[in-house]
Amino acid sequence: MKRIISVLVENKFGVLARVSEIFSSRGFNIESLSVGETLDSKLSRITIVVEGDNVVFEEIKKQLNKLINVIKVRDFTGVDHVEREMVLIKVNLSRKTRAELMEIVNIFRAKIVDVGKDAMTVEITGRDNKIQAFIELVKPFGIVEIVRTGKIAISRNKKKEENNG
């Protein structure tokens, strides 16, 4: 089972390395990882996607909570939340394919962020299934490069996390 874990940490040098060390030292593969400062510049939120069962997750959570710079660990499994990922995709472009590619971009409400003589870069955000469907549709044009941010998630309820800033 895939889990999205949100880890609120102190925004200090080396914290990310210590968090990722917990995963690597125990053989847990991080599927995606994103980090950003919160409203409080002293805190950062790390969003981690991992694959594992409840036993694996409980071990990860226990180890994370032992770190002095970790303020809160939250699992979004079973929690009403919004999750997104942003992807930049550079696709081959020709006069023949331009209109068809632009139609696909519009259908997916993606955004053209750069156009060159022979390639177009598209920004798309959304859930996995939307992004994967877009990738499958543009594959025949020839994908030159893909860059992904990793998932981010936020709960839908109004309650703010403690020390969230």
At residue 165, the pLDDT reads: 45
Tokens 């032992």 appear where? 66
What is the 8-class DSSP label of residue 21?
H
At residue 52, the pLDDT reads: 81
Q: Which residue has the higher pLDDT, 124 or 3?
A: 124
pLDDT tens for residues 51-102?
Answer: 888 888 888 899 999 999 999 999 888 889 999 999 999 999 999 999 999 9
Predicted TM-score (pTM) of this structure: 0.84
9 φ, ψ (degrees, to nearest 5): -135, 165
